[in-house]
Structure 1
Amino acid sequence: MIQIIRSRAEPEQMLQMLEALGIYIKLAVDVERRILAGGGELHTDCELILLDDGSEQANIWGADWYPLRQAVGYESLINIRPSANNRSMEIQEPVLREDISQIVQSLLGNVEWQ
């Protein structure tokens, strides 16, 4: 189940987001609004939820959250954006990666869900 996370996630939200893939969560992160949507089978599923919620596509980036390792992954098809100088599935810009990491860690990091 896809959840929009605007403040620190609750354990129940983590469990619901993990239902799709079990060991990690696909995310779409709005770096402007500092929120994320997570839990779909595809990053685009999460991206659509944020777009419907008022986010602008230029501010949304795909990532993954690995709760057991407390780690962020930065690879997604929605990240291929030549117009933003990102020609790869992986987010290339170190400052953007750090911003996404801070958002994800603040909303999902160390949430007890097991």
Structure 2
Amino acid sequence: MPITVVDPGISRADLHAMAERQFGDMVKAVVDVERGVMALGGDLHADEEAVLLDQGSHQRHLWGINLYPDQSDETWIEFDSMITVRPSSGNRSRCVESPSIREAVIAVVNRLVTS
């Protein structure tokens, strides 16, 4: 599946269709909290990260997530990605540990994904 950089937006219905074609119920995404864009459609978060880096993003602003478009509560965004492991930057796990960065990721996703 080709990687898509989402800006200005994507519908949940389109996310659902993408999930069905790829992983069944989930779409991998990488969010650039500085530029306010999101890449979707890669088999790995690293694939989406590479596209955003090629487009001028900086790695320190990129965070990998999984989206479950059929879930309606806050669990539809899962913070779990290998690209997020950055001990030198204080993030020692696959989860985004900083509450402010998590909030920034959620804000970008909520702005880009429409009902």
Shorter chain as denominator, the TM-score bin is 0.7 to 0.9
Distance 1:12 1:45 in 2: 23
Q: 1:3 touches 1:17 (CA, 8 Å); kept in 2?
A: no
Distance 1:105 1:64 in 2: 14
| Structure having the larger proportion of residues in helix | 2
The match for 1:68 is 70
The match for 2:50 is 48
| TM-align CA RMSD | 1.8
The match for 1:77 is 82
Unaligned runs of 5+ in 1: none
Distance 1:97 1:23 in 2: 22
Instruction: Give CA deviations for 1:22-68 in whole Å, capped at 9, x if unaligned.
Output: 21110111000010101111111111111111111111110111101
Fraction of identical pairs, as percent: 36
Is 2:112 the partner of 1:107?
Answer: yes
Instruction: Give CA deviations for 1:80-102 in whole Å, capped at 9, x if unaligned.
Output: 00122100011111111111011
Of residues 84, 99, 115, the one that matches 1:94 is: 99
TM-score, structure 1 length as denominator?
0.86
Deviation at 1:105, TM superposition (A): 1.7
TM-score, structure 2 length as denominator?
0.85
Deviation at 1:17, TM superposition (A): 3.6
Is 2:16 the partner of 1:3?
Answer: no
With 11-20 and 84-93 compared, the bigger mean Cα shift is at 11-20
The match for 1:59 is 61
Distance 1:72 1:95 in 2: 15
Of residues 37, 40, 49, the one that matches 2:39 is: 37
Is 2:19 the partner of 1:14?
Answer: no
Taking structure 1 as reference, are residues 12 and 50 closer, same or farther at Cα in structure 2, changes over 3 Å only? farther
Unaligned runs of 5+ in 2: none
